[in-house]
Amino acid sequence: MGIAILTSGGDCAGMNPAIKQFVDYCYIKGIQPYLIYDGLEGLIDGNIKKATHSDVAGILHQGGTVLRSSRSKRFFEYSYRKQAYENLTKYEINKLIILGGDGSFRALKQFYHDFGVKFIGIPATIDNDIFGTDYCLGVDTALNIIRNSTDAIRDTSASFRRGCVIETMGRDCGYLALISALTCGAEVCVIPELEIDLNSLTKKLKNQILLGRQYIVVIVAEGTKKTQQLVDWLENDVGIETRATILGHVQRGGNPTVYDRLMAVEFITFAVDKIFEIDSHEGLIIVHKNGRFSFETIDYINSSTYTIKQNLLDIAQNMIK
């Protein structure tokens, strides 16, 4: 029986290296690989292709996903899941590797309960907000894009003696903003996980300006919804001209870093080996915890909410008060 790969939900750098490794490794193992285009929607519509080496040649350095992606409401209706299953049976596919987040994993868990199609999920989201894993595919590239952008914005802020407020993605998780603030030398970091003391920061920053500080870098997570508030605060309370930059979807694209490429290779290799070992399971998620790869159940992944390591939150205290 065949095995197929699909990408679902938000795209991220690292997906294409994973897709290439999937095809190459399956052929090394003597397994016929298949590609499913357009995520769960493509599964419903039968957009499935037998994979060849030429399908993945030259994609290692590309951001995004050559398989494309989607957010499917139809897949949550049984009739469409049945249609998806019938499409798989045409190609004798009974195993799936999915790159995505917890919503995608839940969808395939239901698919397994309906039709017994085994799957392994690989956490792939720049938000890094999946419980049970320290690292999700695409995070390193996103952090490097934020770093490059922040460094460039700092240059112009310094030239004009301005403040800059830089908004990162991450939904309700402040991981991208926090790591970027720590590694880019931001003066202020605003994330959902920490309560900021603007009164204390106002006094501190005003004093620093009197002592010669000529610019201020603030990094804020989109989930706080405080970007404009911070611009107004810097201009009206701290007394420095300020510009806001919302980085947006630039964080999802770009040339995958070496680390994301390596993680993609390891995630896929372990996942393909594992899926042929398990006889019956509703679905496993491969995770990277404390420097080691392991597998967890989807129920465990969904049992709690991801939290940033406390030591990182402790280090950030000087940027919130």
- pLDDT, tens digit only, all 321 positions of the chain: 799 999 999 999 999 999 999 999 999 999 999 999 999 999 999 999 999 999 999 999 999 999 999 999 999 999 999 999 999 999 999 999 999 998 999 999 999 999 999 999 999 999 999 999 999 999 999 999 999 999 999 999 999 999 999 999 999 999 999 999 999 999 999 999 999 999 999 999 999 999 999 999 999 999 999 999 999 999 999 999 999 999 999 999 999 999 999 999 999 999 999 999 987 677 899 999 999 999 999 999 999 999 999 999 999 999 999
In 66-153, the DSSP E strands lie at: 93-100, 118-123
Which one of the listed residues 127, 129, 140, 260 is annotated catalytic? 127
Looking at the chain, the domain(s) classified CATH 3.40.50.460 span 140-252
User: Could you confirm whether 237 is annotated as catalytic?
Assistant: no
Looking at the chain, the domain(s) classified CATH 3.40.50.450 span 2-138+256-301
The tally of CA atoms less than 13 A away on the side-chain side of residue 299 is 2
What whole-number distance in Å separates Cα of residue 15 and Cα of residue 108?
18
* pTM > 0.75: yes
Match 């870093």 to its residue by tokens.
257
140-252 is classed CATH 3.40.50.460: yes
68 CB-contact burial (10 Å; exposed 0-12 / middle 13-18 / buried 19+): middle
CATH of 2-138+256-301, one of 3.40.50.2000, 3.40.50.450, 3.40.50.410, 3.10.129.10: 3.40.50.450
